[in-house]
């Protein structure tokens, strides 16, 4: 059983909905296993309340936050600083609070590329990739795939306007990568 005190550091995940997430279970087990005085919570925040929630993090003493659907893109507007990669991607999945400042990062793409390289052991350079989705995580993965030198990215998404927006943004940043959009109706 976790011992939570006034000195326990608070971390969490913000999204809507979040009741299905296993992140608190996994992160709290890691805190306990490492002997760290931390607690990880899930915060269900409706899109209309995101600004107030993010602005309250510093006042509440929260140390860090993961960002998930549907807030990865919108959260950027409420941060003090965003890494250059996160700015280019247009989405964050991590907010770190340092010295009262909210700093946004995006680790989705680098995590994907690292896992792919470790598991598949196949270089991405010159490959054709099928990307399912056009949200914040897909934006990061597409960006990092292009940095790895893929030849073509085909994007399939439930909603055509969102997929087209990702393709437009992607093509503006990477002229050497072909990008196509497909709509899959569910």
**Using CA atoms, how far apart are residues 10 and 62, in angstroms rounded to an integer?**
5
Q: Which residue has the higher pLDDT, 53 or 170?
A: 53
- Identify the CATH number of the domain defined by range 116-183: 3.40.50.720
Domain with CATH 3.40.50.720 in the chain: 116-183
Domain with CATH 3.40.50.10860 in the chain: 9-106
pLDDT interval class at 184 (50, 70, 90): low
- pLDDT over 60 (residue 78): yes
> Is this prediction's pTM over 0.75?
yes
**Of 133, 81, 127, which is closest to residue 108 (Cα–Cα)?**
133
Percent of the chain exceeding pLDDT 70 equals 94
Q: What is the pLDDT of residues 87-137, one digit of tens each?
A: 988 899 999 999 999 999 999 999 999 999 999 988 899 988 889 998 888
**Using CA atoms, how far apart are residues 23 and 180, in angstroms rounded to an integer?**
33
Catalytic residue numbers? 72
In terms of Cβ atoms closer than 10 Å to its own Cβ (0-12, 13-18, 19+), residue 71 is buried
- pLDDT over 60 (residue 186): no
Q: How many residues does the chain have?
A: 186
Could you tell me if 154 and 128 are in contact, meaning their C-beta atoms sit under 8 angstroms apart? yes
Residues 6+ apart with CB under 8 A from 24: 12, 13, 40, 41, 42
In terms of Cβ atoms closer than 10 Å to its own Cβ (0-12, 13-18, 19+), residue 80 is middle
- From the CB of residue 21, how many other CB atoms can be counted at a distance below 10 Å? 15
CATH architecture of 9-106: 3-Layer(aba) Sandwich (3.40)
């Amino acid at each position: 059983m976790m011992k939570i005190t006034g000195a326990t550091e608070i971390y969490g995940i913000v999204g809507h909905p979040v009741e299905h997430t296993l992140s608190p279970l996994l992160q709290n087990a890691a805190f306990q296993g490492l002997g760290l005085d931390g607690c990880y919570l899930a915060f269900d925040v409706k899109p209309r309340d995101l600004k107030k929630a993010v602005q309250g993090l510093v006042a509440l003493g929260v140390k860090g936050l993961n960002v998930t659907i549907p807030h990865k893109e919108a959260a950027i507007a409420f941060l003090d600083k965003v890494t250059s990669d996160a700015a280019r991607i247009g989405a964050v999945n991590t907010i770190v609070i340092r010295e009262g400042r909210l700093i946004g990062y995006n680790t989705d793409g680098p995590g994907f590329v690292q896992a792919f390289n470790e598991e598949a052991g196949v270089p991405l350079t010159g490959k054709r990739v099928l990307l399912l989705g056009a949200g914040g995580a897909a934006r990061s993965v597409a960006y990092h795939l292009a940095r790895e030198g893929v030849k073509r990215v085909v994007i399939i998404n439930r909603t055509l306007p969102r997929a087209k927006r990702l393709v437009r943004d992607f093509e503006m940043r990477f002229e050497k990568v072909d990008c196509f959009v497909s709509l899959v109706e569910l």
